Amino acid sequence: MLVVGGGGREHALVWKLRRSRRAGKLYCAPGNGGIAELAELAPIAATDCRALVEFAEVRRIGLTIVGPELPLTSGIVDEFEARGLRVFGPCRAAAELEASKVFAKHLMREAGVAQAAFEVFTDPARARSYVAERNGPIVVKADGLAAGKGVFVCDGPDGALRAIDELMVETRFGDAGRRVVIEERLGGEEASFLALVDGTTVVPLATSQDHKRIGDGDTGPNTGGMGAYSPAPVVTPEVERRVMAEVFRPLVAALRAHGIKYKGVLYAGLMIEHGSPRVLEFNVRFGDPECQPLMLRLTTDLIDVCEAVIEERLAELSLGWDPRAAACVVLAARGYPDASERGARIDGLELASELEDIVVFHAGTRRAPGSGAIEADGGRVLGVTALGKTIADAVARAYGATRLIHFAGMQFRRDIGRRAIERGG
């Protein structure tokens, strides 16, 4: 088996695969310092689709799971399938749901999926004029991929104008920001809703909630995610029913109408207000850090899950979940989400990992040449993930393990799970 990627999500996938009764030789490309303890690392970038296909052919890989969005949106699944290789993830046409927010917005409109009112701009002057006429909160989004950092939630026109300049004039995210979506800011509570799709059948995963902002109380800039927990109490059984009926099934049907068969994980970022869900965005892979608590709770063999999707027999599969809650606290390097420091030695990993029902997933780590010590390699460094009887218990256990870990410049949020705990979770 081969897992493509090198973050916390990929460590969680490798960790889960290693526990399969069917696990054989396991590779990860490019992996990280923690994944190296569970799989053989291949020094191939996750975006080097051609080299990955050649590696899979030479090593006779029987199953490849693609973690990050960039290789998916670049068409890695199409290349693997063209060579007759089994791969878990959506094709390039389906991955356009994440590659282009404009594509996703128009498809949602076609499918009748509830979302924020929006306009699309390629001219900064027109975008500024539009914003200048608006009052109240505004959201400005880069159309393309920006590692979770291309969304600017603004309190009013001034912030939105600055966002337009960053994206369209200063081109902070390159071509990803040359076209922008400007939309109303939705009220409510955000949640992550992930489901498996085999082209026709849609099966929801356990509910979860991410924490996008860098600071406590959802302050500061957006990040790739500073922590997550599962389940998410805001996603009640009725909300789940509505999301399946009003979001996932219509969207998958709309894709099929365009000749696009979606196979893999489909992730909807939702805003839920008074029990009504509206979609903020779609991702075409496991969320990071949502994947970490989900893999701790999933009791079904991950190989069985992936094969059911690939072979389009998802309707035959029944997913099992640990009834306990899980929570993940992300430890990031100083400077994140902008340019962040690298090279700080990480202490306390063994102590934290020895705790019961605690798994420390590595994201931005590497092994120091010579000493072999684990060092921070910038960005989100670790995801300390715990199981607990309740969300409050899981969060407390994760923070307890976090206190054993240290590296220079380490930063993390101290309010992961706050909303769920306030709901009595």
d(CA 50, CA 142): 28
Q: What angle do CA 303, 307, 310 make, to 5 degrees?
A: 145
Q: Percent of the chain having pLDDT more than 90?
A: 93
Q: C-alpha distances in angstroms, 241 versus 109, 235, 297?
A: 20, 10, 21
d(CA 27, CA 68): 16
Residue 68 zone, left/alpha/beta (φ > 0; ψ -120 to 50; rest): beta
Is the pLDDT assigned to residue 288 strictly greater than 90?
Answer: yes
Is the pLDDT assigned to residue 370 strictly greater than 90?
Answer: no
Query: Which superfamily does 189-316 belong to?
Result: ATP-grasp fold, B domain (3.30.470.20)
Q: Tell me what pLDDT residue 381 has.
A: 98
CATH number assigned to the domain covering 2-91: 3.40.50.20
Six-digit token pair at 289?
């850090």
Q: How confident is the model at residue 119 (pLDDT cuts 50, 70, 90)?
A: very high
Mean pLDDT of the chain: 96
Within the chain, which residue ranges are assigned CATH 3.90.600.10? 325-422
Six-digit token pair at 316?
């035959």
67 membership: H or E segment, kind and range: none
Q: How confident is the model at residue 107 (pLDDT cuts 50, 70, 90)?
A: very high
406 membership: H or E segment, kind and range: none
Query: Which superfamily does 325-422 belong to?
Result: Phosphoribosylglycinamide synthetase, C-terminal domain (3.90.600.10)
Is the pLDDT assigned to residue 65 strictly greater than 90?
Answer: yes
pLDDT digit string, tens, across residues 48-58: 999 999 999 99
Q: How many residues does the chain have?
A: 425
Q: State mean pLDDT over 262-269.
A: 98
Within the chain, which residue ranges are assigned CATH 3.30.470.20? 189-316
Surface-to-core class of residue 185, CB atoms within 10 Å of its CB (0-12 exposed, 13-18 middle, 19+ buried): middle
Q: C-alpha distances in angstroms, 398 versus 86, 378, 412, 413?
A: 36, 21, 12, 12
The domain 123-178 having CATH identifier 3.30.1490.20: the answer here is yes
**Torsion 7-210-184-284 (CA) sign:** positive
d(CA 418, CA 75): 38
Q: What angle do CA 300, 303, 306 make, to 5 degrees?
A: 95
Six-digit token pair at 349?
């990993």
Within the chain, which residue ranges are assigned CATH 3.40.50.20? 2-91
195 membership: H or E segment, kind and range: strand 189-198
Q: Tell me what pLDDT residue 385 has.
A: 98
pLDDT digit string, tens, across residues 228-252: 999 999 999 999 999 999 999 999 9
Q: How confident is the model at residue 369 (pLDDT cuts 50, 70, 90)?
A: confident
Are 141 and 118 in contact by the 8 Å Cβ rule? The answer is no
Six-digit token pair at 162?
């600055």
Q: Which residues contact 82 (CB under 8 A, 6 or more apart)?
A: none
Is the pLDDT assigned to residue 134 strictly greater than 90?
Answer: no
d(CA 89, CA 249): 18
Amino acid at 252: V
Closest to 322 (Cα-Cα) out of 406, 205, 415, 154: 205
Q: State mean pLDDT over 297-322.
A: 98
